[in-house]
Amino acid sequence: LNRVAVVTGASSGIGNACCKDLVAKGMVVVGLARREERLQELKASLPKDQQSRFHGRKCDVSVEQQVVDTFAWVDQTLGGADVLVNNAGILGNLQITDPDNAADLRAVLYTNVLGVSWCTREAFRSLQSRKVNDGHVVIINSIVGHKVPVVPGSGLKMYAPSKHAVTALTEVLRQEFQQKKTATKITSISPGAVDTEIFDAKLKEAMPDIPMLRAENVADAVTYCIQTPPNVQIHELTIKPVGEGF
Ligand code: NJP
């Protein structure tokens, strides 16, 4: 896997595990997140001979200009991104019917939906400008982006609608890629519950005995999809822990 990958949401959970796995597979990986110190910790945790292949960059994917600047830096410094793993996501704190929730709801939609749009647009621009026809865009969606499970206490808030938007976004992007005659692949991965920071104490309290995946389980799936031969494209992968009921 001698290519450059950008992974969003690299400071914890699934994105962190993806960075470790892709670097170990020989890729040059740019990990993006807002918590820069976590990215430095990630780099330091890698085996010494792999550290130079990891670049941590502070980037808030909900801010368009930061995404544009980051991909320009990847173009200039590393020759451009061949693979993008759209993984950054937030749950949000407030319910849709809570008062004064505009900033919170906006943050969820800007991060989970527009962040994916902007990163994909910039990765596509970079691929097109270099005439690279075989890139790969992976999108970490969710099982709640296909069917909304009943969670006691309505723990999903604007998160579930945002992930439904990601489901539609993925298929529209696929059509746009086809129109623009690129063989760049799009893969959507929808996990069930994963034991990471986003699955916060409130959600755990609402679903106390829920079986959970580990971040590494989802990272394995990402690597598997990226490694498929040129004629194979995995459109949609659902990955759940054994015993999950919804
Ligand atoms: O969660 P967590 P996961 N700009 O909280 C980053 C989906 N998923 O690994 O910016 C840039 O450990 C944040 O970094 P920081 C889920 O929807 C999960 O589970 O430093 N980065 C952190 O690195 C999400 O799409 C479950 O705070 C931003 C990362 O995102 C993906 O899996 C189930 C950012 C979040 O890591 C990874 O989440 C499911 C921003 N504006 C789908 N905002 C599950 N865990 O159960 C956040 O179906 N980040």
pLDDT tens digits along 192-241: 999 999 998 888 988 888 999 999 999 999 999 999 999 999 999 999 99
Confidence of residue 52 (pLDDT cuts 50, 70, 90): very high
Give me the mean pLDDT over the 121-150 stretch: 96
| Burial class of residue 37 in the structure, from the number of CB atoms within 10 Å of its CB (0-12 exposed, 13-18 middle, 19+ buried) | exposed
The residue ranges of DSSP E strands in the chain, in sequence order, are: 4-8, 28-33, 54-58, 83-86, 136-140, 185-191, 236-239
Percent of the chain with pLDDT strictly greater than 70: 99
* Residue 1 clears pLDDT 90, i.e. is over it: no
- CATH classification at residue 26: 3.40.50.720
Residue 33 near ligand 1, beta carbon < 6 Å: yes
Q: What are 95-117's pLDDT values in tens digits?
A: 999 999 999 999 999 999 999 99
Mean pLDDT (the chain, rounded): 96
* Phi, psi (deg, nearest 5) at residue 54: -110, 130
Mutate to test the pocket of ligand 1, among 39, 90, 114 (most ligand atoms within 8 A of CB): 90
The CB of 62 under 6 Å from ligand 1? The reply is: yes
| First vs last C-alpha separation in the chain | 35
Mean pLDDT of the 148-157 span: 84
Q: Is 87 in the pocket of ligand 1 (CB under 6 A)?
A: yes
Residue 125 beta carbon below 6 angstroms from any ligand 1 atom: no
* CA–CA gap between residue 161 and residue 7 (Å, rounded): 23
Based on the structure, what is the number of domains in the chain?
1
**Cα(72) to centroid of ligand 1, in Å?**
23
Distance 13 CA to ligand 1 centre (A): 7
Range of the domain at 211: 4-239
Instruction: For residue 96, give the DSSP letter.
Output: T
Catalytic annotation, residues:
159
The answer to the question of residue 150 being in a domain is yes
Does 37 map to a domain? yes
Strand order, beta sheet including 83-86: 54-58, 28-33, 4-8, 83-86, 136-140, 185-191, 236-239
The reply to whether 246 falls in a domain is: no
For residue 244, the model assigns a pLDDT of: 86
State the Cα angle at 236 between 7 and 121, rounded to 5°. 45
Mean pLDDT along residues 156-164: 97
What is the distance between the alpha carbons of residues 149 and 89, in angstroms, rounded to a whole number? 19
63 assigned to some structural domain: yes
Assigned domain for 245 exists: no
Which atom of ligand 1 is found nearest the CA of 190? 48
Average pLDDT over residues 10-15: 98
Looking at the domain assignment, is residue 244 inside a domain? no
Decide whether any atom of ligand 1 lies within 6 Å of the 194 Cβ: yes
Q: What is the pLDDT of residue 145?
A: 96
Question: Is 116 within a domain?
Answer: yes
Ligand 1 pocket mutation, candidates 12, 109, 157, 213, criterion most atoms within 8 A of CB: 12
For 57-82, how does the pLDDT look when each residue is reduced to its tens digit (9 = 90+)? 999 999 999 999 999 999 999 999 99
What pLDDT does 201 receive? Answer: 86
Choosing from 37, 194, 237 the residue with most ligand 1 atoms within 8 A of its CB, the one to mutate for a pocket test is 194
CA of 180 to the centre of ligand 1 (A): 30
pLDDT at 155 over 90: no
Residue 184 pLDDT greater than 90, yes or no: yes
Q: Which two tokens stand for residue 76?
A: 């200039």
Closest Cα to atom 23 of ligand 1: 9
Q: Is residue 212 assigned to a domain?
A: yes
In short, whether 6's Cβ falls inside 6 Å of ligand 1 is no
Residue 35, ligand 1, Cβ within 6 A: yes
Could you give the CA distance from residue 102 to residue 114 in angstroms, rounded to a whole number?
16
